[in-house]
A and B are shown apart, each in its own frame.
Chain A
Amino acid sequence: DTAVSQTPKYLVTQMGNDKSIKCEQNLGHDTMYWYKQDSKKFLKIMFSYNNKELIINETVPNRFSPKSPDKAHLNLHINSLELGDSAVYFCASRGPWGSPLHFGNGTRLTVT
């Protein structure tokens, strides 16, 4: 059983395009996250949702818009893609306060 699943695994697109990455978790968790890992391997938090409500929004360009249709899903839509958006994007979910995050296997986005 895949706990946190992301699609697609790889995404290659051109500058200026709009793309979405989907994330689903079957753990029954209330909180979900998006992290970005750049070429230097730093993992940086982007967003967090709790029960479909945005609770963390780091200084991310507003071209990035998360959407949570229900608490099991947190999708990431990116408008007007730029070269610097190339990275691996990880989705994660968490249960009650203090419990650990569970990560998906990432979506490698390449913008050409």
Chain B
Amino acid sequence: DAKTTQPPSMDCAEGRAANLPCNHSTISGNEYVYWYRQIHSQGPQYIIHGLKNNETNEMASLIITEDRKSSTLILPHATLRDTAVYYCIVRVEGGKLIFGQGTELSVKP
């Protein structure tokens, strides 16, 4: 069980913000939320992770709701190179990262 639910696909216009939602309603108090992306034929690439607070790095921002049952990954100015499958993952017991189906983001000119 992936423990996360994401829309299968989304479109975004180039230069606009891409907001990717994720539901993780069964998350435990000490479980982190991680976001990865996989560009065609490459290995998954780490983007950002968080526990309770919102996080920002050079790639993206992560907004986690106060009850921690959902989060949103924000790519502030999407480019064509951001077209990829985005995975929202909760680390389960034992340290495993279990990937779900992810959201296929298409950034269009």
Picked from B42, B49, B94, B98, the residue with its CB within 8 Å of the CB of A100 is: B49
**Residue numbers in B under 8 Å from A103 (CB-CB):** 43-45
Categorize the interface residue count of chain B.
20 to 34
**Is the C-beta of A43 less than 8 angstroms from some C-beta in chain B?**
yes
State the main secondary structure of chain B at its contact with A: mixed
B101 part of interface (Cβ distance < 8 Å): yes
- Of the four ranges (under 10, 10 to 19, 20 to 34, 35 or more), the interface on chain A belongs to 20 to 34
Query: Judging by beta carbons under 8 Å apart, are B94 and A56 in contact?
Result: yes
Complex contacts, A44 vs chain B, CB 8 Å? 99
CB distance from A47 to the nearest CB of B (A): 11
Q: How far is the CA of A101 from the CA of B89 in the complex (A)?
A: 11
- Taking CB atoms and an 8 Å cut-off, the chain A residues in 69-112 that contact chain B are 90, 92, 94, 97-98, 100-106
Please report B residues at the A interface, Cβ cutoff 8 Å: 32, 34, 36, 41-46, 49, 85, 87, 91, 94-99, 101
Residues of A that sit less than 8 Å from B by CB: 4, 31, 35, 41-45, 48, 55-56, 90, 92, 94, 97-98, 100-106
